[in-house]
Amino acid sequence: MHDVEIREGTIRLGQLLKLAGLAEHGADAKALLEEGEVLVNDEVETRRGRQLAPGDRIALGDEVVRVVAR
């Protein structure tokens, strides 16, 4: 697991996937979410606009990232 720092209180899931390097483009993030491959706090998430806050954990395959405040 590695931490991804955000400046503000929340970040959208699609943005975080790109920031963390789990998706190269927004279209890639959308496809991953539509296929049910992304877990947020151990639950499948399909909404690209889902708001994430510090402490949330995102998993894609073997990759796990945690949102932390800067």
Which domains are delineated in the chain?
A: 2-69 (3.10.290.10)
pLDDT tens digits along 14-46: 999 999 999 999 999 999 999 999 999 999 999
In our burial notation (b when 16+ CB lie closer than 10 A, e otherwise), range 9-43 reads eebebbbbbeebebbeeeeebeebbeeeebebeee
Report pLDDT for 70.
Answer: 87
